[in-house]
Amino acid sequence: MAEQVIYLDGKYVTKDQAVVSVYDHGFLYGDGIFEGIRIYNGNIFKCKEHLQRLYDSAKSIMLEIPLSFEEMQDALIETLRRNELRNGYIRLVVSRGPGNLGLDPNRCKKASVIIIAEQLAIYSEEAYRTGLKTVSVSTRRNIPDALNPKIKSLNYLNNILVKIQSNLSGAGEAIMMNAQGYVTEGSGDNIFIVKNGVILTPPCYLGALDGITRQAIIEICRRKGYSLKEEPFTMHDVYVADEVFLTGTAAEVIAVREVDGRIIGEGHAGPITLKLLEEFRSIVDQDGVKAWG
């Protein structure tokens, strides 16, 4: 295994050398954007979709990425090759860059680009069968009028507060509602419920990231003829669902077995969740950009 190499502003450096300025507005203010991407068998899954979300987020917050879309894709591939990584997780961060202590982003002359690629072990295979224990939390999702959830910004304090609450309850993941009490998403994943064969996921305008995995599941449902609706629902609907599952780049498709002490379905991963996980895993090394020949 080669020593880990990190891409930092055009250079490939060691972990120790991969440092940024304390004046970087990403550090000072969470001013920046990021992506989490998976590589499966040398295939960067949904690479273009992730990069598109990154460039759209950048445009929305008026952050100029100093690399073209193609250059960014090349940098991703080169980072993976230098790390000899065929299976793993890529964290791509673009911060506003070093400025001064003031808020004004005009003081930041150049955005910083960081690519970290490493191995990933998030849930055991058993966890995909048994499902996660979750709780709903009092922390509300940031309102879309304040920070649009389509922007995958570095400002994750809202999600971190959710994680703190979830940790305190001894849960593996938490479910966030918006200010109106509609279910939005988890701290780091999208949510789906299944009731009487119909699959529901909240529309993103309620306050959820437009997850790439969420979209992949929607595509699979359409292709396989499952009935799927993007529709608002409440915690009551979650409690009485036949199945509940979460989706995300790191988590893939993982069942929820318990929510706020209510057992979901049979108390383990349900048949539709497992089928969707299987379908999802059958495309992850196909659909994307090959980093390795």
Active site residues: 152
Contact status: 243 vs ligand PMP (CB under 6 A): no
Judged by CB under 6 A, which stretch of 86-94, 187-195, 199-207, 253-261 contacts ligand PMP?
187-195
- What angle (nearest 5°) sits at the alpha carbon of residue 107, between those of residues 103 and 110? 120
Report the alpha-carbon distance of residue 235 to residue 182 in Å, rounded: 7
Kindly state the smallest distance separating residue 144's Cβ from ligand PMP, in Å: 13
By the 10 Å C-beta count (0-12 exposed, 13-18 middle, 19+ buried), 282 is classed as exposed
Q: Is 249 a binder of ligand PMP (CB under 6 A)? A: yes
Which of 24, 31, 189, 279 binds ligand PMP (CB under 6 A)? It is 189
Q: Which two tokens stand for residue 196?
A: 């009487």
- Name the residue among 43, 48, 80, 118 with its Cα closest to residue 284: 43
Q: How many other C-beta atoms are found inside a 10 Å radius of the C-beta of residue 174?
A: 24
CA distance 254 to 281: 12
Counting contacts by CB under 6 A, is residue 190 touching ligand PMP? yes
Cβ 263 vs Cβ 17: under 8 Å: no
- Contact residue for ligand PMP among 98, 131, 211, 288 (CB under 6 A): 211
The residue count for binding ligand PMP (CB under 6 A) is: 14
185 is a contact residue toward ligand PMP (CB under 6 A): yes
Q: Which stretch binds ligand PMP (CB under 6 A): 113-121, 208-216, 228-236, 271-279?
A: 208-216
Question: Are residues 136 and 175 in contact, defined by beta-carbon separation less than 8 angstroms?
Answer: yes
Dihedral (C-alpha) 271, 275, 277, 283: value to the nearest 10 degrees? 180
Nearer to ligand PMP, 189 or 279 (CB): 189
Binding characters for ligand PMP, 9-48, by CB under 6 A (x = yes) = ---------------------------x------------
Residue 108 or residue 152: which is nearer to ligand PMP going by CB?
Answer: 152
User: Toward ligand PMP, which CB reaches closer, 98 or 211?
Assistant: 211
Least distance from ligand PMP to the Cβ atom of residue 252, Å: 9
